[in-house]
């Protein structure tokens, strides 16, 4: 799994939005400590979390399963642009047969668990998909055979308020192991001067 932060909103944008309410622009320190404290006080401590929606983060996420993608889609206050199976399943057509022993080769396409029988069945599902594609079945029909473990990638944009909710829920030990890993990777990818807004959302396990 790889998480790359592509773009983020400077803190001063959020601070200016907050200062708009009181017309206190003269107290700004251009995104410095005063503005950071203001954002934390108003957005977190005073619970005026709508002000955090002025902060946006854009991530490129690679190597997650379609099972995780399904859970990620439940966080609706975010935008997802996902690798298309309609256009990209052709990558499998040139592969030779997959056997249960082809774990390293199958890792290009599958996310593995720590349960051997699950991973073995995932490889069998991958081989079934390869066979179908080799027969010339269209991607639109063949993709119905995709295993949940099949890897995908996406661009994900989310505002700070929604990201706090995501991190709070998905870093929990009760969350799916893979999305918990994603939550921690996303937090680690945040700009250092933004992390203080999300520290309280991360559940230590």
**Strand, coil or helix: 64:** strand
Number of C-beta neighbours around residue 112 at 10 A? 16
Closest CA to 189 of 31, 39, 63, 6: 6
Determine which one of 19, 161, 170, 180 is catalytic: 170
**Alpha-carbon gap, residue 123 to 63, rounded angstroms:** 16
Q: Which two tokens stand for residue 153?
A: 């990638």
Q: Is 170 a catalytic site residue?
A: yes
Closest CA to 12 of 194, 135, 162, 203: 194
Q: What is the DSSP string of 115-154?
A: -HHHHHHHHHHHHHHHHHHHTT--HHHHGGG--TTBEEEE
Active site residues: 170
């Amino acid at each position: 799994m790889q998480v790359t932060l592509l773009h983020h909103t400077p803190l001063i944008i959020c601070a200016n939005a907050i200062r708009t309410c009181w017309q206190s622009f003269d107290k700004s320190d251009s995104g410095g400590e005063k503005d950071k404290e203001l954002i934390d006080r108003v957005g977190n401590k005073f619970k005026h979390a709508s002000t955090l929606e002025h902060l946006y983060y854009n991530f490129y996420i690679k190597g997650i399963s379609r099972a995780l993608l399904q859970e990620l889609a439940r966080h609706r206050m975010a935008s997802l642009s996902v690798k298309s199976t309609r256009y990209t399943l052709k990558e499998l057509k040139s592969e030779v047969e997959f056997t249960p022993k082809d774990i390293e080769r199958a890792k290009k396409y599958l996310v593995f668990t720590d349960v051997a029988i699950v991973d073995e069945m995932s490889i069998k599902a991958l081989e079934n998909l390869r066979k179908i594609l080799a027969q010339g079945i269209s991607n639109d029909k063949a993709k119905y055979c995709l295993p949940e473990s099949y890897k995908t990638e996406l661009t994900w944009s989310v505002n700070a308020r929604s990201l706090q909710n995501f991190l709070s829920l998905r870093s929990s030990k009760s969350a799916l192991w893979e999305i918990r890993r994603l939550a921690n990777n996303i937090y680690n990818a945040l700009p250092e001067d933004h992390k203080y807004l999300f520290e309280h959302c991360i559940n230590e396990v």
